[in-house]
Structure 1
Amino acid sequence: MKDEKPHLIEEYEITPYTLLISPITYGSKTYSHIVELDDEYISPFKPIDIIKKSCHYFGVSYEGRKEGTRQLIGVTHKAPIAINPTSSMFFFPTTSPLRPHCIWVSLEHIERFSRVDMSHTSVTFKNHQQVDLPISTSSFENQYMRTVFLKDKLIQRIEETERKYFYLHSHAASEKTAKFRKYKEDH
C-alpha cells in the first residue's frame, strides 16, 4: 500500500476504482480501510456495511445479490457478490462475511496472486499495488474462481437477453417495413 495516510470519509460506495476493503480496529470499533487505484480511505463503517450500502446504491439488496449468486452458481458460503455487473464490480470475501476480519477483494483489479506461506497469499493488482492477505492460496484461488464463474454466468445472461431483445426488435422492425411496402404498393 501507499505511504500516504488514508483520508477519513463518512460516506462511501464501492466504485470501479475500489481494489479492496479490509477491517481495521479503532478501540472497540471496526472501521474499514478502503484501497482504490490511486487513493486510500478510512470509513467508520464495517466492510460488510459498505458492501451492503453499495448494493443498495445500485438498486438491489445484499441479500438479493447473495440469493442471485446461489441461483446462478449454487454458492451459499462465502458467496461472491455482483455489486454492479454492468461496471464489472464483483467482490469476494476472504472468509465468512460475518467474521470481523473478513476482507473484500475486487475481482476486476487482480493481476496475479501467489503463496506467501500456508495461511497467506500475496495479491498484485493491475496498478502494481501488492498486499499480503491472511488467506491460504488454495482458499483465495477458490474464491477467485467462484467469482469468475459468477461473472461469466451473469455476462452470459445479459448477452442472451440482449440477443433476444435485438432479435425481437429487428424482427418487429422488418415486419413494419414489409407492411409499409405493401401499403405503398396498394396505394
Structure 2
Amino acid sequence: MFNFYTEPPEITPFTAALVAQRDSNNKPMTMVLEEQGEYAVGCTPSKMIDHACKYFGSSLKGRQDGTRDICGITHKAPITVDPLSGMYFFPTISPSSSQCTWIAHSHIDQVQKKDEYDTEIIFHNGKSIVLEISYGSMLN
C-alpha cells in the first residue's frame, strides 16, 4: 500500500526516480522511488521537479537555461535540483510531456537493454524499473 499525495512533497537526496504513470482515471501521476520506499503523487514528475527547483531558489526552466548556458545541452538536459546536496536528475523524454520520467544519476547501478524499445534501470538499492526508451537514448 502506498501513501498518495495531492501536493508534491520535497525531493531529497534519497529520491532515486520520479516515474510517470497514469491513475485509474487516466490522469497523470508520479510514482516516487526513494531508497527505502515509494509513494504516489497526483501530479506529473516535471511538476515535482519544478516545485523542488523553486524550493531551492530557481525553477525547472531556470535550471534548464543554466545547463544550456554551461554545457550547451538543449534537449532532455540534465539539471541540478540542489547542487549543494548533489541532487542531479535527467529526463527520459521531453520534460513538457506528462510521460517524462526523471532519474537521479547518483542512484543508478546499472542500465540494461531489454529489447529494441525498452531499457531497465537498476538502482543501488536493488530496485529496478523498465522504461519505454531505447538503450542508446538512455545512455546519451
TM-score range normalised by the length of the shorter chain: over 0.9
Q: TM-score, normalised by structure 2?
A: 0.94
**1: distance between equivalents of 2:13 and 2:70?**
23
**1: distance between equivalents of 2:26 and 2:136?**
32
Matching residue of 1:6: 2
1:70-114 deviations in Å (ceiling 9; x for gaps): 011101111111001111111011101112211100101001111
1:116 maps to amino acid:
K
Q: SS of the residue aligned with 1:35? A: strand
Matching residue of 1:109: 107
Structure 1 residue runs of 4 or more that deviate by more than 6 Å after TM superposition: none
Q: Aligned pairs, how many?
A: 138
Q: Which protein is bigger by CA-based radius of gyration? A: 1
Q: TM-score, normalised by structure 1?
A: 0.71
Matching residue of 1:81: 79
Q: Which has the higher contact order (CA 8 A, sep 6+)?
A: 2
1:137 and 2:140 are equivalent in the alignment: no
Q: Which runs of 5+ in 2 are unaligned?
A: none
1:16 maps to amino acid:
P
- Which of 13, 31, 34 aligns to 2:32? It is 34
**1: distance between equivalents of 2:96 and 2:59?**
16
Question: Is the 8 Å Cα contact of residues 22 and 29 (structure 2) preserved in structure 1?
Answer: yes
- Alpha-carbon shift at residue 65 of structure 1 (Å): 0.5
Cα RMSD for the two superposed structures? 1.1
Structure with greater helix percent = 1
- Which of 65, 68, 72 aligns to 2:66? It is 68
- Which of 94, 98, 101 aligns to 1:100? It is 98
Structure with greater strand percent = 2
